[in-house]
Copies of this chain bind each other. A is one copy, B any other.
Amino acid sequence: MAFRAHNFNAGPAALPLPVLEIAQKELCDFKGSGMSVIEMSHRGKEFDDVNNETNAKVRDLMGISDDYEVLFMPGGASMQFCLIPMNFIREGKSADFINTGSWATKAIKEAKVQKDINVIWDDKEENYIRCPKASEIKVNPDAEYVHICENETIGGIKYFELPECGDVPIIADMSSCIMSEVMDVNKYGMIYAGAQKNIGPSGLALCIIRKDLLERVPENICNFFKYTTHAKNASMYNTPNTWAIYILGLVCDYLKSLGGVPAMEKINREKAKILYDVIDSSDFWRCPVDKASRSIMNVVWRLPSEDLEKKFVAEAKAHNMIGLKGHRSVGGLRASIYNAVPKASVEFLAEFMKEFEKVNG
């Protein structure tokens, strides 16, 4: 077995070792073709099968109905921040945004450049320590959509209940929580996710779009920017990121073999609890986020001083634990414990935390 680091990177992030091993085995010769999967024409039968099968696997794992398109788009979530307002806010109309932190803010910025939008809830004063309760949100009934970031990778918070939006569709950035817990896709107008956190390598966005929204796509934008273009061409309008689609397919196989998203949710909740239990066990550790909004994918916490935080990161690294430094914009510590991070790695981290507290607490 290959030597493995305990990989707590926020993204690109850990992938399942069995997935990497299959990709490694097939890398120079995909299924006896004499070619690597990355040397294959996206228009050829072999890759067309990979594309279609991966699409079907995503649909199966997430329980996506025929009312939705499933698209593989180039770039990550950052490009979607630009395309969503461009495609779905019609002339003279507006959309509502909920600001829960770094990623919601980025989505708002790219929307504001193009359209007249409303930020209907913003937790800036509390320093983005929680997601809103449903009762706090009043949606403009004529809004084209409500945009939320379902899980803030940097802030370490997640929604535990969705806002009540009536007929206004919810569009959710799920980059850091896609396929980590059971989600009812039918509650959303659109779900999108950069693949590089929970489901694959970087350079790919998974976009799940309710088909009726596609009727809004304007004529007078570039073809490449239109969701309709990518939908009509089954994500093959231009050359897609074939490697990422292939790996996403292998990740889906792996999740399925473990019992699908319900099984992942159970493991993920167990993993998160292990870390939050240590954090809650003493005043040495402090989780800055509201208990009711704690992410099960990105666990953030602080130590009594920045010097101790630096020491923690350095000693953890010496113990083969990677990626525990908080995002540079907020500091502190963070463990991203996506689907592919083994429970054993989380337990190893928890034990290390207890030892660290004994010496430094």
A residues apposed to B, CB below 8 Å: 2-5, 7, 9-15, 17, 20-21, 23-24, 27-29, 32-36, 38-44, 74-79, 81-82, 109-110, 113-114, 194, 196, 201-204, 220-225, 237-244, 247, 320, 322-323, 328
Contact of A221 among B4, B113, B203 (CB under 8 A): B113
Please, which residue of chain B has its CB at the minimum distance from the CB of A203?
B241
- Chain B residues whose CB sits within 8 angstroms of the CB of A247 once the complex forms: 38
Sample of 5 A–B contacts (CB below 8 Å): A9-B39, A11-B41, A13-B39, A76-B238, A203-B204
A28 and B24 within 8 A (CB)? yes
The answer for the CA separation of A359 and B81 in the assembled complex, in Å, is: 58
B79 to A224, Cβ gap below 8 A? Answer: yes
Which one of B10, B196, B222 lies within 8 Å of A81 (CB-CB)? Answer: B222
A7 to B43, CA, bound (A): 14
Known: A74-B76, A239-B194, A243-B243. A12 touches B40 (CB 8 A): yes
* CB <8 Å contact, A14 and B39: yes
Instruction: Report B-chain residues with C-beta under 8 Å of the C-beta of A76.
Output: 74, 238-239
The residue from B20, B28, B34, B242 contacting A320, defined by CB atoms under 8 A apart: B34
Q: Within the complex, what minimum Cβ distance (angstroms) separates A341 from chain B?
A: 10
Contact assessment for B28 and A41 in the assembled complex, using a CB-CB cutoff below 8 Å: no
A277 and B110 alpha carbons, distance in the complex (Å): 54
Question: Is the beta-carbon distance between A9 and B79 smaller than 8 angstroms?
Answer: no
- Measured between beta carbons, the chain B residues less than 8 angstroms from A38 are 12, 15, 201-202, 247
What residues on B are CB-neighbors of A42 within 8 Å?
Answer: 12, 202
Query: Would you list the 10 A-B pairs with minimal beta carbon distance, nearest first?
Result: A203-B241, A5-B34, A74-B75, A78-B238, A24-B27, A82-B222, A38-B201, A2-B28, A203-B203, A9-B41
Cα A12 to Cα B2 with chains together (Å): 30
Determine if A12 and B242 form an interchain contact, defined as CB atoms under 8 angstroms apart. Answer: yes
Min CB distance A249 to B, Å, is 15
Closest chain B residue to A220 by CB distance?
Answer: B113
Chain B residues positioned under 8 Å from A196 (CB to CB)? 239, 242
Across-interface contacts of A194 in B (CB, < 8 A): 239
Q: State how many angstroms separate the Cβ of A124 from the closest Cβ of chain B.
A: 20
Distance of A23 from chain B, by nearest CB (Å): 6
Q: B12 and A20: CB pair below 8 A?
A: no
Which of chain B's residues have a CB closer than 8 A to the CB of A11? Answer: 41, 239
**What CA separation (Å) do A333 and B283 show in the bound complex?**
72
CB of B239 within 8 A of CB of A202, answer yes
